[in-house]
């Protein structure tokens, strides 16, 4: 029993010491937390964020807005149930936070236009969430259109090669 107590006491001392060291090193650097890229694990590439997170979520928004003419006639694509709206709202949240993922130190390509485009993704995602909350189809559609133009503008600026592949795949 005493052994266990003294072991945990020692552990506490070790823990307290390391916490103090962290606190000291933070003070020494004097920087704001956001400039500390070492806090973020950005081993997922920009390409991976696009393919696995941002594009699937965005596709859900685009697939659930507007209307199509098919053999069956005119079809509205908007959700028709509470569950449907809750689902697209959650995907809009993924879109919004993806903008922050792109802006993380260690991932952002610069501190300038890249940040404006990343912020544009956040804004479009938040607008789509609000529209989903309000079941506002027109606003939801507009948020999707704005989102699409931010994707295209950033690709144009940073990776023009991507434009063709992206447009073909999307077929919009």
Which residues of this chain interact with ligand HEC, rule CB under 6 A?
A: 45-47, 50-51, 54-55, 58, 102, 114, 117-118, 121, 147, 150-151, 154-155, 158-159, 162, 166
- As a dihedral over the C-alpha atoms of residue 160, residue 158, residue 170, residue 84, rounded to 10 degrees, the angle is -170
Q: Compute the least distance from the CB of residue 114 to ligand HEC, in Å.
A: 5
Handedness of CA 145, 146, 150, 151 (dihedral sign): negative
Q: Is 141 exposed, middle or buried (0-12, 13-18, 19+ CB in 10 A)?
A: buried
Question: Smallest gap, in angstroms, from Cβ of residue 79 to ligand HEC?
Answer: 19
Q: How far is the CB of 62 from ligand HEC (least distance, A)?
A: 9
87 vs 166, which CB is nearer to ligand HEC? 166
Residues with Cβ within 8 Å of residue 172, at least 6 apart in sequence: 62, 148
Nearer to ligand HEC, 92 or 154 (CB): 154
């Amino acid at each position: 029993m005493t052994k266990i107590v003294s072991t945990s006491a020692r552990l506490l001392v070790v823990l307290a010491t390391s916490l103090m060291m962290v606190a000291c090193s933070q003070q020494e650097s004097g920087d704001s937390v956001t400039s500390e890229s070492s806090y973020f694990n950005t081993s997922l590439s920009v390409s991976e964020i696009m393919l696995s997170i941002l594009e699937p979520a965005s596709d859900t928004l685009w697939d659930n807005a507007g209307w199509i003419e098919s053999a069956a006639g005119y079809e509205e694509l908007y959700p028709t149930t509470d569950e449907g709206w809750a689902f697209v709202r959650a995907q809009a949240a993924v879109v919004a936070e993806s903008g922050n993922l792109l802006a993380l130190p260690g991932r952002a390509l610069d501190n300038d236009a890249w940040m404006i485009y990343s912020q544009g993704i956040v804004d479009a995602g938040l607008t789509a969430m609000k529209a989903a909350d309000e079941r506002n189809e027109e606003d939801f559609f507009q948020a999707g259109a704005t989102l699409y133009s931010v994707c295209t503008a950033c690709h144009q600026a940073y990776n023009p090669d991507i434009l063709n592949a992206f447009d073909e795949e999307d077929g919009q």
